[in-house]
Amino acid sequence: MIIDVITIFPAMFETVPHYGVISDAFSSGNCVLNIYDLRDFTRDKHRKVDDRPYGGGPGMVLMAEPLDRAIRHIRKKNSIKDKDMQKTILLTPGGSVLKQDTLKSISQLQNLIIICGRYEGIDQRLVDLCVDMEISIGDYVLTGGEIPAMVIIDGIVRLMPGVVGKEESLRSESFEDGLLDWPQYTRPATYRGIKVPDVLTGGNHGDIEKWRKNRSEEITRERRPDLFDKSI
């Protein structure tokens, strides 16, 4: 998979391919991350990417042309034959809220082009012309699309074959079956007077499985009744 990111702050992405289990996908070449500086696609000597909004009001808006040129450049360079395998996404608080299922479906693509907004956002004509999906990472407002882009990159690369050691650990995690994860414990067996639940040290796998399922259900019902209602 090729992930292309368009941003005015390319340096923010320098650490992304180098840490944790996702780094293997990048070092093995299974996944390629290209970061494009939006200013490289301007044509004036000030490398201007933004301008004032029509109709007035505060802030600045990213202009359509440099983004359009960047996207065209990337699409031409990648020359993906099956256009359904290539998507251009915009991070915006107005997009549909990111879910594990969204990550699963975009992790199947050959090429993902991610546009990071800044300021008040981007010219709507660019959205109408070039954007396939608008995604929000939650109901709050950040200063830019770079951190949301990193959320998406981490989430999809994690799903690629071989990235997370045991397939089983992907399946048992929060949201996979509509439930949140159960509580985890590790050594020592007693910490500051609190013992690990007996069932986990008892060695009966059937009981352990039952305990985990019950705890998952209880936690989901308590904290996320919306998820729980869907899972039954």
Residues that bind ligand SAH (CB under 6 A): 91-94, 116-118, 120-121, 136-138, 140-145, 148
Closer CB to ligand SAH, 25 or 115, in the complex: 115
| CB 14, min distance to ligand SAH, A | 19
Whole-angstrom distance, CA of residue 109 vs CA of residue 132: 13
Closer CB to ligand SAH, 41 or 50, in the complex: 50
| CB 64, min distance to ligand SAH, A | 14
Tell me the residue number closest to ligand SAH, measured at CB: 117
Instruction: Concatenate the DSSP letters of all residues of 5-63 into one string.
Output: EEES-GGGGTTGGGSSTHHHHHHTTSSEEEEEEGGGG--STT---EEPPTT--SS-EE-
Which residues are registered as beta bridge partners of 115? 6, 90
Q: What are phi and psi of 116, to 5 degrees?
A: -95, 120
| CB 195, min distance to ligand SAH, A | 41
Burial state string for 203-225 with b = 16 or more CB within 10 A and e = fewer than 16: eeeeebeebbeebbbebbbeebe
Tokens 């608008």 found at: 134
Closer CB to ligand SAH, 148 or 155, in the complex: 148
Whole-angstrom distance, CA of residue 121 vs CA of residue 142: 11
Closer CB to ligand SAH, 1 or 131, in the complex: 131
Closer CB to ligand SAH, 17 or 148, in the complex: 148
| CB 3, min distance to ligand SAH, A | 16
| CB 91, min distance to ligand SAH, A | 4
